[in-house]
Amino acid sequence: MIECPLCSYSVVNEKAVFCPNCGTPILASAEQSRVSDRLKLWGGELRMLSVFFVNFIGFEKLISTKSPKEVITKIREYFTEVENIINEYKGTANQIIPDSRILGIFGAPKAHADDPIRVIRCAWRIRNWWQNKRKSGEFPEGIDITIGINTGRAFFGYILEKFSFLTVIGDTINTAARLTEICPLNEIVISGSTYDKTAEYIKADHIGERSVKGKTTKINVYLVKKVEKESQTIFSQKFPICGREKELKKLIDLSNSIKENKERFCVISGQMGIGKTRLKEEFEKYLAQDDSFAFLETHCSVEIQTPYYPFKFLLKKYLNINEFDGNETVAEKLDNAVSEGKLSRFDVRGLNHLFSTDLRRLKQDEIESVNEEIYTAVRNLLKNECRGKALVLIFEEFNRADEMSKYLVAYLTSELKDCPVMFLMVNVSREFLTNIECPIDEINLTPLSLSEVRNLVRYILGDVDEKVVDFIYRSAGGNPLFTIEAIRNTRRTKLIKKVAGQWVLEKEQRLSFLDDLYGVVMSTIDSLPSDYRLLIDYASVIGYSFSLRILKGLFDNVDLVNQLHYLVEEGYIVLSKNDRDPVYVFRHNLLKDAAYTVLPLRKRKEIHQLVATLFEKLYADQLSDFYENIGHHYLVCENYKKAAEYHKLAGDKAKNLYAIEQALNFYNVVLKINKDTDGRIGSDLMNDLLLNFTDIYEITGDVQKMSKTAQQGLELSRKSRDVVREINFMERYAYALLLDARFDKAEELLLSAVDRCDDKMVDILAVLYSDLALLYQNRYEYEKSIINYNLSWNTARDNEIKKAEISCLYNLSQLHRILGNYEQALDYLNYGLEELIPKQDLRWQVRFKYLVAAINTQLWNLSVVEKLLLESFETAEDIGNTEVALKSALDLAAVKALNRQREEAEKYLEYADKKLTFLIRENLLAEINLKKAVVYYRLEDYQKTHDFIRNALVNAQKFAQKEIEFYCYIILSLLDEEERVDNARKALEIAETIKAPPLIASALYRLTRVFLEEDDLEKARYYGRKALFVYDDIKFKLNDEHRKIFSESPEYKSLLEI
């Protein structure tokens, strides 16, 4: 007998885990004792549990007819029977008699891989037991049960030092209890978290999002209608895998190797039908049975190149986002991921770009920021996911992936090198693999051997004559798909017959349909019953992937779900996403293509039109996800007006996701439509299209195309008398001229545009002033530049255009830094950090902080520089601001090298080398190479210094980066003894050309040092006095603290000594 440690109730059953009187958990069994010993050491742990409450209703009615003792005895009898059922399913039961309910726990103290479905099967069994009892009359009338099931993390362990017993507590347990309160009588309801893990095993009705006591957000609730004996999701065809044991073992070995924090990148390749998908499915079955792995699978869009499609598909499954969820619902689910610790607030911002893409016209730096935020959010999410378990990411048909997804995968492989993650790509292009930095394991599937084909044939047919096996092997060439179709065909055409229980070859003839892939695929389709073939036909028009919702809208078929299930079983399609809106994909691309091409053209067009309207109707709240698809369907059915609208929207989305090539493709479709329809596309759409073209050409650096397109837009806007768009095109044309160094024409256009702006055009007016400021800065007319930056700033500030205001402050700070007005620059930066930039806008925060560090470097305020750089570096790395992270790392390396900390300097250099990928903008390379040269010079590695400085100089001259070119010549004057005077004078010439006092002083100082080394004291003193004069002018504008620090800089002190 055991005594409850809380209420002292004597528990007769020594195997009891919970006190039947008060519900306090007790520990009894040896197995649980071993668990207890371990948990006593750690105190407890968070476990993934699946729990349910069985709530008995109506026992109080018995008290009027029976004594309390009799009622309690009866309750205990019922509870014991329920407890026995729970024990049968290896769960843990807790009888709570005062509350007339039982708690069933699965996942603690011992967990099973299938706990979520175990708990449902157990609850279903209890429900059936209850119904049978009621039918037999064993229970009095008026007594009912409700069952609520929930899955989630909960604490399992010790919460009180006073009592040495285990308990389970947490929101997961409370939610299960609350579900019984909203459950219909004698039914079972489950939460969305349980449904997500068991949907393939059950049939359930979604009864909506419900509020439950104790939770601030609503939860999805499902009513269980049926529990299947086996999963409804078929991982493979009904035929067993043959001859791939070695390849499967390799996959398993590779996956196990990542547990040592070793990233792997694996490719499955081979001809169609060779078994790539089949091998992947067997591997997934292995992963599903091993609780130490988590795996996520996605597929790639085929018809339309949608930016980040495979990642959006993957993330939707991971975050439980449905296709029809609106922006508010998506935001709520992302917030839930934050509360569950899956994402940070900054990561939510990055992922939200994928689900709710901003279609406004964004500037280049904003678009680049969007791109980096997406990359960082996906990286951080995957890093977080693989902290607890080894993670396998599976990409089906990656050879058809969009460019942005390819870039993202390449980025992830470089960022997750020390993480337990495996990338498994089913089909991939050789060109893409050149961007992967980690080792690549390839599994190239070859045809089956004769013995392997024999096993497959015998599995399908049973007893067969060897001649049949040989005939099929020769006909199909060992291709598994061909082999299966050859077997089907020989039976259908009666080339084989059964004699005395054995299949024998009746006659041998060539199977002509196997001569090409199309024939094989058509053979598989033709073997289908007419209803199933019709379903395939409709699905082929929808696309490579298709949802149950769209199919239901296309034709009335009451048996649709069962037919789809049959097609999954037979290997025609795959259930890719199983939620409230199931999504299927064709198992082979050619199967979809073959079904589509044989449909009559007129019928295809009708279905395309219907599919497009269904997308608009069914997914109205998340239409941006389907712009590409809808545009495609309207284009094929020749509804050109709507096709142009949706292709334009698809282009806008792609552009703002930095998918430049895809944006150009979508926009070019609109141009072609306009041309083919003799210019029937509306002027508003065409104006916006041309404006976006100019933005893209600015990003790609194609100034000539930018200029030409802006002129076309200018002409069109003037014809349509659209003043706002006309001014926008004037700005774009002027900016193209500015980039082409045609300053006079650009100035004329910008001033004219400013004059034409009225009081309502404040947004474009702020841009025009900013362009003028940049123009004057490039002409080294700094006073005019400052005036126009201030005009832009005031316009933005007066009209609360926050982004423009921040941008102006940053540009003003940079300009004052160039002029040596360091206090003014710091004032602007500090004002921005303290008053203007929101705390959550980390991208602008880190850019401002890095510039503060750069100015303090020029002030020689080294006591704060390292701290500022380290803060900038860590923040930039966390948020994925590659530019600032790279610059900060290299500046830190320079500081470490200056302090003779070689190992620390090399550590930051190594980081920079890892970050330098094909994603880095070319015009950033000059500055990066310059910073590397500085580090290697301080490390006294002069050969590397020379190599990097030469590369920096070439890039700086290409992009007219005068300041970087100046520093290149300064360093060259330190390296090349014979040309040191010439290089120093070239540096001085650049500094005087761009009228930058700090650079002039630095060049004069360098000349001073050169002539000192040549013992030409007269020239040394001449240049030294001039340098000191400029430095004194800079020093004079500093505050007392900075003036003192500046006076201690090596250059200034040495000039005083000459």
Greater confidence (752 vs 73) lies with: 752
Same domain, 457 and 431: no
Residue 361 pLDDT class (50, 70, 90 cuts): confident
Percent of the chain's residues with pLDDT above 70:
90
The verdict on residue 976 lying in a domain is: no
* Mean pLDDT score, 912-928: 81
Question: Does the pLDDT of residue 963 top 80, yes or no?
Answer: yes
CB 89 within 8 A of CB 118: yes
Q: How confident is the model at residue 141 (pLDDT cuts 50, 70, 90)?
A: confident
pLDDT given for residue 1044 in this prediction: 95
Residue 15 has pLDDT above 60, yes or no: no
pLDDT, position 63: 64
Which tokens belong to 765? 């007016």
pLDDT of residue 513: 57
- CA nearest 666: which of 654, 675, 681? 654
Given a cut of 90, whether residue 810 has pLDDT beyond it is: yes
Q: Are residues 216 and 279 in the same domain?
A: no
Asked which of 629, 660, 681 is the last residue of a domain, the reply is: 681
CATH of the domain at 612: 1.25.40
In a domain, residue 61? The reply is yes
| 413's tokens | 């492989």
Across 147-156, 737-746, 772-781, 1038-1047, least confident range:
147-156
Query: Does 111 reside within a domain?
Result: yes
Question: Residue 33 pLDDT > 80, yes or no?
Answer: no
Nearest to 596 by CA among 632, 560, 570, 644: 632
Q: What is the pLDDT of residue 438?
A: 86
Residues 484 and 341 in one domain: no
- Residue at 285: amino acid letter: K
Residue range 295-317: mean pLDDT, rounded? 86
Asked if residue 206 and residue 74 are part of one domain, the reply reads yes
3-class DSSP assignment, residue 266: strand
**Phi, psi (degrees; rounded to nearest 5) at 442:** -115, 135
CATH of the domain at 111: 3.30.70.1230
Average pLDDT for residues 550-562, to the nearest whole number? 85
Residue with tokens 């901003």: 358
Q: What is the mean pLDDT of residues 40-63?
A: 74
pLDDT at 13 over 60: no
Residue 491 has a pLDDT of 78
pLDDT at position 325 is 82
- Whether residues 604 and 628 share a domain: the answer is yes
Which DSSP state fits 435?
T
- Both tokens of 456, joined, read 């497959």
Under the banding of pLDDT at 50, 70 and 90, the label for residue 552 is: very high
3-state secondary structure of 738: helix
Per the listing, tokens 């926008």 go with: 728
pLDDT category at 492 given cuts 50, 70, 90 is low
* Cβ atoms 489, 480 nearer than 8 A: no
State how far the Cα of 590 lies from the Cα of 518, in Å rounded to an integer.
7
Q: How sure is the predictor about 687, in pLDDT bands with cuts at 50, 70 and 90?
A: very high
pLDDT at 739 over 90: yes
Among the listed residues 555, 606, 608, 551, the one whose alpha carbon sits nearest the alpha carbon of residue 584: 551
Q: Which of 879, 883, 872 is nearest to 848 (CA)?
A: 872
Same domain, 344 and 486: no
- Amino acid 38: pLDDT: 40
Mean pLDDT of 664-681: 93
Contact 949, 971 (CB under 8 A): yes
Contact 579, 196 (CB under 8 A): yes
Domain CATH code at residue 576: 1.10.10.10
Closest among 96, 108, 45, 70 to 388, alpha carbons compared: 45
In this predicted structure, what is the pLDDT of residue 6? Answer: 46
Position 507 in a domain: yes
Which residue is it, tokens 């790609």?
Answer: 700
Query: What span, in angstroms and rounded, lies between the C-alpha atoms of 791 and 488?
Result: 78
Locate 656 and state its tokens. 């703002």
Domain co-membership, 308 together with 386: yes
* 832: confidence class by pLDDT, cuts 50, 70, 90: very high
Residue where a domain stops, chosen among 662, 681, 700:
681
Mean pLDDT of 346-353: 90
Q: Which residue has the higher pLDDT, 998 or 153?
A: 998
Instruction: Please indicate, yes or no, whether residues 215 and 306 belong to a single structural domain of this protein.
Output: no
Q: What does the DSSP 8-state code read for residue 449? A: P
CB 264 within 8 A of CB 441: yes
269: left (phi over 0), alpha (psi -120 to 50) or beta: beta
* Residues linked to residue 887 through DSSP beta bridges, in sequence order: none
Residue 800 reports pLDDT greater than 90: yes
The predicted pLDDT at position 9 comes to 55
869 found inside a domain: no
Task: Give the residue from 709, 651, 706 showing the smallest Cα distance to 305.
Answer: 651
> Residue 325: in which H helix or E strand, if any?
none
Least confident of 232-246, 596-610, 681-695, 1028-1042: 232-246
Q: Is 840 helix (H, G, I), strand (E, B) or coil?
A: coil
Residue 687 in contact with residue 727, Cβ under 8 Å?
A: no
> How high is the pLDDT of residue 41?
41
Block residue for tokens 């206090």: 823
Tell me what the pLDDT averaged over the chain comes to.
88
> How far is C-alpha 203 from the geometric centre of its chain's CA atoms?
31
Judged against a pLDDT cut of 90, whether residue 745 lies above it is answered with: yes
Q: Kindly state the average pLDDT of the residues 893-920.
A: 89
Please report the pLDDT score of residue 342 as a whole number. 82
Cα-Cα end-to-end distance for the chain: 97
pLDDT at 235: 34
For residue 179, is it within any domain?
A: yes
Lowest mean pLDDT among 574-583, 732-741, 786-795: 574-583
**17 with 25: CB under 8 angstroms?**
yes
The confidence score (pLDDT) of residue 195 equals: 86
What confidence tens digit (pLDDT) does each residue in 99-136 have?
A: 678 999 998 777 666 788 889 999 999 999 988 888 88
CA distance 643 to 629: 10
pLDDT score at 233: 39
564-591: average pLDDT: 85
DSSP letter string over 214-244?
T-SS-EEEEEEEEE-SS-SS-SS-SSPP-S-
The reported pTM is: 0.74
775 belongs to a structural domain = no
Pairing of strands 202-210, 219-227: antiparallel
Asked if 183 and 289 sit in the same domain, the reply is: no
pLDDT digits (tens, 9 = 90+) for 379-411: 999 999 988 899 999 999 898 899 999 999 999
Query: Does 339 have pLDDT greater than 90?
Result: no
Q: Of 227, 258, 279, at which residue does a domain stop?
A: 227
Here the tokens at position 305 are 């190149």
Token reading at 433: 């693999």
528-537 — which CB contacts under 8 Å span 24+ positions?
528/572, 531/557, 531/559, 531/563, 532/563, 532/566, 532/567, 535/560, 535/563, 535/564, 535/567, 536/567, 536/572, 536/591, 536/595, 537/595, 537/596, 537/599
pLDDT higher at 234 or 285: 285
Question: Same domain, yes or no, for 420 and 501?
Answer: no
Is the N-terminal amide bond of 1050 cis, ω within 30° of 0?
A: no
435: CATH:
3.40.50.300
Are both 263 and 305 inside the same structural domain? Answer: yes
pLDDT above 90 covers a percentage of the chain that reads 58
Same domain, 484 and 543: no
pLDDT digits over 845-898, tens only? Answer: 999 999 999 999 999 999 899 999 999 999 999 998 999 999 999 999 999 999
Domain count, the chain: 5
Domain with 121, as residue range(s), is: 25-227
Identity of the residue numbered 735: Y
Mean pLDDT of the 934-950 span: 96
Region 779-805 average pLDDT: 96
Domain membership flag for residue 609:
yes
